[in-house]
Amino acid sequence: MDRSKLTYLTQLVIRDEKLIFTVASYASIITIFLNISTVQSLVVGIAASIIYLFINATFIGQAFFQSHNLFIKFLLGTLLLIAILGLVGLAIMLLHNLDNVRTAIALSITALLTSALNRRVGPKNAT
């Protein structure tokens, strides 16, 4: 995929005008949950995880790192997303055991947070 297509795709994710990418993020969470619970397919898990990470890292990268270029926003967004997932997972583990359902809850909480941040900040500097 060349740079212009990746930039265009990232701008589409940031704008998220009809909440398509937010819904896609939640669909990937459902897919991850069903894969963990029943299917246990490596290919399905990797594909759903990549979609989840791309969408939510783009959301959070835009929310916190607007002045940076596309690569840095995505890289820092990915690192921050993993840190937030770790904190939410830790909080759930401290309250109760982290099983399949609670893993899906942690993913949902993080997706809700990143989507809300993207909505609040908006695509002002979408590059």
96-126 per-position pLDDT tens digit: 877 888 888 889 999 999 888 888 876 555 5
**At residue 43, what is the residue type?**
V
How distant is the alpha carbon of residue 112 from its chain centre? 9
Instruction: For tokens 């990418």, name the residue.
Output: 21
pTM of this prediction? 0.84
Identify the band that residue 24 occupies on the pLDDT scale cut at 50, 70 and 90: very high
Tell me, what DSSP letter sits at residue 44?
H
Identify the band that residue 84 occupies on the pLDDT scale cut at 50, 70 and 90: very high
The C-alpha atoms of residue 27 and residue 55 are separated, in whole angstroms, by 12
Percent of the chain with pLDDT over 70: 94
pLDDT at 51 over 90: yes
Distances 102 to 7, 54, 94, 118, 127 between C-alpha atoms, Å? 34, 22, 12, 24, 35
The confidence score (pLDDT) of residue 126 equals 52
Vertex 7, ends 44 and 123: CA angle to 5°? 100
